[in-house]
């Protein structure tokens, strides 16, 4: 994220920006999301896609293209507006607790926080990504480390996702639906470092772990 007065931040770069309001996000509404654009033609297209393929302000139920029924409900919008009122307070709370955790982890060999790019003014801190070195813990598997975190009340649901190129959607004909694009043969890829990070090294902790009122729990 970028402070006001600086260059465009996420959501303001390129023709379209997208944000998710799914229940685990920093600004949750249960479900739903938002697309930002300054291009009227693209706005009309997005409106059609989320509104059953109908043109904007349509009253004739005229389906001009294939679309989805992805209209956000008034209830979800009301939840989102209420969440937005405390967004900056929670943002600052995450930042304070992240700094506390970073300092505490400097004393713990084998567990490092993902580095922050110095060009970032404000980090969303949606995920705490830890780098776990089992060698510093006598070869303790990552899964055992995650269970130990859970026993202390720190949820780390999994170590992350499998490599994207290992997902079935990229390995079967589903990827061929990308019109006008040549789809790589993902089954031919071998990226050992990526696979090791996914299976042995990375530990993900969700952003709500940083929303405590005090930093004592983070330090523990």
CA distance 184 to 181: 9
Query: What tens digit of pLDDT does each residue of 54-105 get?
Result: 988 877 888 888 888 988 889 999 999 999 999 999 999 999 999 888 888 8
pLDDT of res. 66: 84
Residue in this structure with the two tokens 């990226």, named with its chain if needed: 191
pLDDT at residue 21, rounded to an integer? 93
Six-digit token string for 140: 């303790």
Question: What count of other Cβ atoms lies within 10 Å of the Cβ of residue 179?
Answer: 5
Q: Give CA–CA dist 159/205, Å, rounded.
A: 9
Residues of the chain with pLDDT > 70, as a percent, come to: 86
pLDDT at 6 over 60: no
CA dist 70 and 54 (Å) reads: 12
In this prediction, residue 2 carries a pLDDT of: 46
- Give the pTM: 0.77
**Where residue 209 falls among pLDDT bands split at 50, 70, 90?**
confident
From the CB of residue 2, how many other CB atoms can be counted at a distance below 10 Å?
Answer: 16
Q: What pLDDT is stored for residue 153 in this prediction? A: 82
168 has pLDDT over 90:
no
All domains of the chain, ordered by start, with CATH? Answer: 17-85 (no CATH), 87-219 (3.90.1150.10)
* Per-residue model confidence as pLDDT tens digits over 113-164: 888 888 788 889 998 899 999 999 999 999 999 999 888 888 887 667 888 8
The answer to whether 209 and 155 have CB atoms below 8 angstroms apart is yes
């Amino acid at each position: 994220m970028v402070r006001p007065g600086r260059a465009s931040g996420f959501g303001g770069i390129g023709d379209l920006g997208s944000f998710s309001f799914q229940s685990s996000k920093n600004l949750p509404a249960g479900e739903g999301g938002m697309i930002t654009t300054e291009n009227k033609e693209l706005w009309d297209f997005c409106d059609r896609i989320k509104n059953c393929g109908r043109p904007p302000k349509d009253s004739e139920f005229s389906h001009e293209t294939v679309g989805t029924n992805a209209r956000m409900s008034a209830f979800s919008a009301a939840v989102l507006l209420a969440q937005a009122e405390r967004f900056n307070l929670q943002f600052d709370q995450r930042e304070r607790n992240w700094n506390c955790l970073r300092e505490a982890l400097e004393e713990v060999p084998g567990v490092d926080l993902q580095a922050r790019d110095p060009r970032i003014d404000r980090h969303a801190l949606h995920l705490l990504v830890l780098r776990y070195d089992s060698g510093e813990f006598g070869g303790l598997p990552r899964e055992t480390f995650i269970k130990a975190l859970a026993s202390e009340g720190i949820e780390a649901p999994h170590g992350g996702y499998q490599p994207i190129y290992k997902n079935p959607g990229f390995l079967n004909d589903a990827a061929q639906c990308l019109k006008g694009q040549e789809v790589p043969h993902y089954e031919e890829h071998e990226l050992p470092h990526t696979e090791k990070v996914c299976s042995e090294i990375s530990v993900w902790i969700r952003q709500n772990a940083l929303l405590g009122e005090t930093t004592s729990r983070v330090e523990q």
